Chains A and B, each alone.
Chain A
């Protein structure tokens, strides 16, 4: 029981961290850190679900996240450029605070939703956080990379809950296929544009 608590805490923290990093780094041209953050979310998802699903399922989930990030980053990652940590700027601080406000907001409405969607609180919280952050990332971004990371976050949030509601292998397969297809679509769209910058 204690182990479950610890993995849930670490898993939840990784998901929040991953989603916040993507949101804070919104529209940055070097998207490597954001893609790592996306993989980090999936590590968190695996930790959240570690006591619920079999290792085979967990590996499939983790591979979906990793491959999704790899597909999305195929055309965008330039390994020759050294990875530099971001400087703290007012925009980043504002987005960080906004993310925290969202977390508090979800924390307040989550018990209400938990009455009709019977999944563990930590999982429901993370799912709602991913969906909300995904929507915000999508809405505020002008780059295709971040718009697709937003959509993927939204879908990951849904997947996290729906996996617990529907234990059908067919549905699980569908969700993995949809996740990867969205990533593939993102990579395809970005590869057809000279500049990832998206005219809005």
Chain B
């Protein structure tokens, strides 16, 4: 037995196998949840590269396997990440019982999660880009089935992901060429540009950011919430692997200056757009763009503290986005995502409204919510970089807060006619769990911080400078 087989190959094919049972939503949820729980339990209890004794038999639990001449390897240090991924998949699968989703959603979650584990496992890591592309391709039919508009966002998503793959794959090859001769500035600069263009497509960096808003606005919020979150996370993971793998990249100062500049531009553009959006899903999309900007700026600072904040915000965003997606999905089926239609929602659906507000501000970082200490540190770091940079980033940050207040005012608007109640008892219970979880992370941050420290320990080469 080996780790990649257990956490990547088996769940992927099990997900594919579950497609056969997708007619029965309950059965597929039970089977997929069981697999996730089993994998979480193994990742939490059985160390990789150890001997497992069952009665008189023993199994050597190794960390790698060979496929077609390439190695898939999951080290012991990745186990917290594996546990997180399958816990994340588990909550999406379990909570999908309370909302109306496509029948292939549950198998898809399992397959996509397995593919993200594949990104972590494959060596050389750049092949992970192909796993990401496969994850996109298997998700798109479900996007298309549930589309509410023309499908333009879906096609753009496919194009940009394909272009991103092309640039990253070529960039990955060039990066290994630079490794042989890092003093060759000619190749080095071109490699940087190629890699940058690849990430521009994948991380919805300006000017190629429109796809994320169009895609989220026209597709099922629960589906787009999961797929976009997991893909954005994979993109950051590949970026981290690039930084971890190449010394010349970690020591190339213009890269970090560039990351800070791009981050600032993305925060300003994302937050500015967020203020003027008329749809909740587009608001969330531009929040992702702005948060990607904050993440890139923090990576660009290249210090232990900034890296810790970067990782923490990434995970908080993933958790908060889940509850956002659940809340939006709990709205009536024919809801058009328009902010105008949400006026006074608090009176008919208080828990949906509360969850939308709490999850938005959890990411943006309002006091008493999980993102606050990290966003405050981010602003502090921005001002320590330079006062002008701090001012620019603060403006972006305050615009994000303003967009959140606009959402809050809309939800609490004293509408003349209250809308019909749409949240069910089950949904209400799950939304309460969501709000409680976000507050728990704020008031009892120890387990979260311990987890972040474990993840961070894998990337000491980057965070250590």
Contact = CB atoms under 8 A, between A and B. Distances in A.
Is A bound to B?
A: yes
Interface of chain B: mostly helix, strand, loop or mixed: helix
B139 to A, nearest CB: 10
Interface of A: 115-117, 131, 138, 144, 147, 151, 154-155, 158, 161-162, 165-166, 168-171, 173-175, 177-178, 181-182, 185, 188-189, 192, 198-200
B339 interface: no
Given A151-B159, A181-B138, 14 more contacts: A116-B177, A117-B170, A131-B166, A151-B158, A155-B166, A158-B170, A168-B68, A174-B134, A178-B137, A178-B165, A182-B137, A185-B140, A185-B158, A188-B144
B174 A116 contact: yes
29 contacts: A116-B177, A147-B155, A151-B159, A154-B159, A154-B162, A155-B162, A155-B166, A158-B165, A158-B169, A162-B170, A165-B170, A165-B173, A168-B68, A168-B127, A170-B70, A171-B127, A174-B127, A174-B133, A181-B134, A181-B137, A182-B137, A182-B158, A185-B158, A188-B141, A192-B144, A192-B145, A198-B151, A198-B155, A200-B150
A154 B163 contact: yes
A138 B186 contact: no
Which bucket holds chain B's interface residue count?
20 to 34
B68 A170 contact: yes
A147 B152 CA distance: 11
B69 interface: yes
Interface in B121-179: 127, 130, 133-134, 137-138, 140-141, 144-145, 150-152, 155, 158-159, 162-163, 165-166, 169-170, 173-174, 177
Contacts, number: 81
Interface of B: 67-70, 127, 130, 133-134, 137-138, 140-141, 144-145, 150-152, 155, 158-159, 162-163, 165-166, 169-170, 173-174, 177, 186-187, 190-191
A177 B68 contact: no
Closest 7 CB pairs of A and B: A170-B68, A174-B130, A181-B137, A158-B166, A169-B68, A170-B70, A199-B150
Contacts of A138: 159
Given A154-B162, A165-B173, A199-B150, A170 B134 contact: no
A172 to B, nearest CB: 9
B130 A178 contact: yes
Q: Which has the most chain A C-beta neighbours within 10 Å: B145, B162, B186?
A: B162
Contacts of A158: 165-166, 169-170
B331 to A, nearest CB: 25
Contacts of B169: 158, 162, 166
A160 to B, nearest CB: 11
Contacts of B133: 174, 178
B162 A177 contact: no
Contacts of B187: 116
B456 to A, nearest CB: 30
Contacts of B69: 168-170
A92 B206 CA distance: 34
A151 B144 contact: no
Nearest to B174: A116
A161 B170 contact: yes
A170 B127 contact: yes
Contacts of A154: 159, 162-163, 166
A177 B409 CA distance: 49
Contacts of A116: 174, 177, 186-187, 190-191
